[in-house]
Amino acid sequence: MIGRLTRAVLVALVVGPVGVTAQEEIITRGNQAYQEGDYESAIEAYDAVRQNGFSSAGLEYNLGNAWFKAGSLGRSILHWERARRLAPADDDVLANLELARSLTVDDVEPLPTFWLTTAVTRWVDLLPRATLRMVVLLSWLAVTGGVVVRLLAGGDALASAGRWTFRIGLGVLVVFGSTFFVRELGVLEPERAIVMVEAVPVRSAPAEEDDLTLFQIHEGTRVRIDERTGAWAEVVLDDGKVGWIPLDAVEVI
């Protein structure tokens, strides 16, 4: 896929000094630079938007594209993974990740996942982030609206409508509200990171001794961080291998 760019709908996480319109103009300049083959300028533009407190799956997707074209496999995978977290079902993001992983040195075969964990994860990731927020908001409005109608209703029919609006809204709110908080708090998502260096030895203990080396992992490989000790991290690969690497060799997704 790689080549498609997105307008990158902005979600304000922190209100910065530059407005949404200005951020969209920066993204437009970044897209133009990308199309002209000036990938470094495109990266600078997209990063400027991120540094100002805005984020979206589209923006992370664009950054992944630009870094891939600039020759950085690790950073392209990092940003596509961030895009996947924001839009788990996006076909373009998933296709790019599949392509990029096929280019990594390490051939890591993931361990099978318990079916219940897989089912819950698929449910949590079912809706895009913005859609899930909208569903939660509308269900909350239905709950509060139903209560107000019941309190102010002048007749049985109106009171009944308010009661059913409240019940349906509450049911939807419980289901999708809990899903929203599980997703936002990352309850089911362990801390993962991407290897940013060409190669790093994985050791049996957090120390520099070469005789502790178990194996090596390479740029672009995804790991799970289970523990931190000073400048070291205990990581687990998707195939279950465990060891210690320097924290500065990876960047957290």
- The residues of the chain scoring below 50 in pLDDT are 9-18
Contacts of 64 (CB under 8 A, 6+ apart): 75, 76, 77, 78, 79, 80, 83, 93, 96
- DSSP codes joined into one string, 66-102: HHHHTT-HHHHHHHHHHHHHHSTT-HHHHHHHHHHHH
Segment 72-89, tens digit of pLDDT: 999 999 999 999 988 888
Q: What token pair was written down for 59?
A: 């923006």
Per-residue model confidence (pLDDT) at position 224: 96
State the pTM of this model.
0.72
Q: What token pair was written down for 209?
A: 């001794």
Per-residue model confidence (pLDDT) at position 23: 83
The topology under which CATH files domain 11-102 is 1.25.40
Segment 181-230, tens digit of pLDDT: 887 776 667 899 999 999 999 999 999 998 999 999 999 999 999 999 99
- Kindly indicate whether the domain formed by 192-252 is annotated with CATH number 3.40.50.2300: no
Per-residue model confidence (pLDDT) at position 11: 40
Per-residue model confidence (pLDDT) at position 4: 66
Contacts of 99 (CB under 8 A, 6+ apart): 1, 2
Per-residue model confidence (pLDDT) at position 16: 42
Per-residue model confidence (pLDDT) at position 10: 43
